[in-house]
Amino acid sequence: MRKIQFIGVFSLIFLLIGHSVLAAETKKVEFFGVGATVTELANQEFKVETTGEKEGEGFVHTPSAPTSINVKYKVALKGEGKVYLKIEETDARGTFLNEVKSEEIQLTDEWKEYELEAKIASLQSQLDVFVLTSSKQETTFFFKNVEVLNE
């Protein structure tokens, strides 16, 4: 009887540990639409469809906490229309601290990688990275390989 209880407890512990390890490995990176719909496609590619109601539609992503005051935002894009990259920095209370915006980018039907560098005020800051339309335009674009590097 003791042997059966031991096996039962051991099995339960194994299942709980295995589940938490598996959950850590399958952490999903989230992207949210800003006046747009974001759809995940195959191979870590995403489709963004904007409504065209206002300038500044696209997507936002909040990466993990920075470990350096120098950060680089990288993303591969293709599609139609004009967009820009943006890094926005806020403090722990959500107070706006800083914004860095790229020049306007004319998208093409071929994948192209873009970068935007920023110097942030604090390692306690929260960063949000965006790709947004530069004018009122209903458009569709695609993105992949989003990275925020600490340099």
Question: What's 87's domain CATH number?
Answer: 2.60.120.260
- Residue 64, pLDDT score: 92
pTM: 0.79
- Residue 7, pLDDT score: 46
Cβ proximity of 107 and 82 under 8 Å: yes
List per-block mean pLDDT (blocks of 10 residues) for the chain, which spans 151 residues.
48 40 56 97 95 97 94 97 96 91 97 97 94 96 97 87
Residue 52 structure tokens: 């065209």
- Residue 16, pLDDT score: 36
**Does the residue 16 lie in any domain?**
no
The pairing of strands 105-106 and 32-34 is unpaired
Residue 34 structure tokens: 């800003």
Residue 104 structure tokens: 């306007």
**Does the residue 73 lie in any domain?**
yes
- Residue 92, pLDDT score: 84
Secondary structure (3-state) at 151: coil
**Does the residue 61 lie in any domain?**
yes
Computed from CA positions of residues 132, 72, 115, 144, in that sequence, does the dihedral angle turn out positive or negative? Answer: negative
Domain that holds residue 107: 29-150
Instruction: Give the single-character DSSP code of 43.
Output: T
**Does the residue 37 lie in any domain?**
yes
Computed from CA positions of residues 12, 18, 21, 24, in that sequence, does the dihedral angle turn out positive or negative? Answer: negative
A 10 A CB-CB count for 83 gives 29
- Residue 9, pLDDT score: 41
Count up the domains in the chain and report the number.
Answer: 1
- Residue 19, pLDDT score: 43
